Amino acid sequence: MRSKYDSHVKNKLQVVKGWRQEGYNEEQIAGLLGVAYSTFMEYKKKYPELLEVLSTSKEHLIDELKKTVYQIALGSTKKVYVKNHRTGKMELEREEYNPTKVQLDAALIALKRLDPDGGWDNTAKEDTGTSVLEKAAENFKIFSEELKKSLEND
C-alpha cells in the first residue's frame, strides 16, 4: 500500500520548495498538500529529500530576508516612469524612497521566526543596554555611509 507521501508529497517537492521560499511555514505546506501536520513531521524524519527541500528553501528565504533588511538599512529608491504621450516613450518621472518601517519590521519578524539563533531578537540587550537590532541598524548606517563615501571617491 502506497502512503500519502508517494501520492501527495513526493511529486510536489519543487512546489514545496517554492512555497517555502515564498514564506509558507511547514504547517501551511502540510495543509496545502492535504496531509496532517503530524504526518508531515513524520515524513520529514523518514524522507531526507523532503527535509533537504525544506532546509535549503528556508536558508534561501533567510538569505533573501537578510538582503531585504540590508537594502532597507542602506536606503533604496524606486524609479517611477510615465509614458510621454508626444514621443510614446517611457521617461523617468521621479525617484521615491521605497522601503518603509513596516517592511523592515516585517522582514525582521520573519528573520526572528526563521532564524531564532541569528541575533535578530530586538529584546535581547547587550551589556551596553543596546538591543541587537539597534546595534545592527547603527552598523548598517555606518556601513552605508562608508560605502557611499567609497563610491563617491571612485
In tens, the pLDDT along 53-95 reads: 888 877 877 787 777 777 666 666 667 788 888 888 888 887 7
In tens, the pLDDT along 12-54 reads: 999 998 888 787 888 999 999 999 999 999 999 999 999 988 8
**CA 63 centroid distance within chain:** 6
Supply the Cα-derived Rg of the chain in whole angstroms.
Answer: 22
In tens, the pLDDT along 128-150 reads: 555 555 656 665 666 556 656 65
pLDDT at residue number 34: 94
Q: For 3, phi and psi rounded to 5 degrees?
A: -85, 170
User: How many CB atoms are located within 10 Å of the residue 150 CB?
Assistant: 9
Annotated domain spans of the chain: 4-58, 64-153
**Nearest Cα residue to 30 out of 66, 39, 21, 76:** 39
pLDDT at residue number 125: 46
Q: For 54, phi and psi rounded to 5 degrees?
A: -65, -40
- Report the DSSP beta bridge partners of residue 94: 80
Give me the sign of the Cα torsion angle 125, 127, 128, 134: negative
pLDDT at residue number 75: 60
pLDDT at residue number 10: 93
**CA 121 centroid distance within chain:** 16
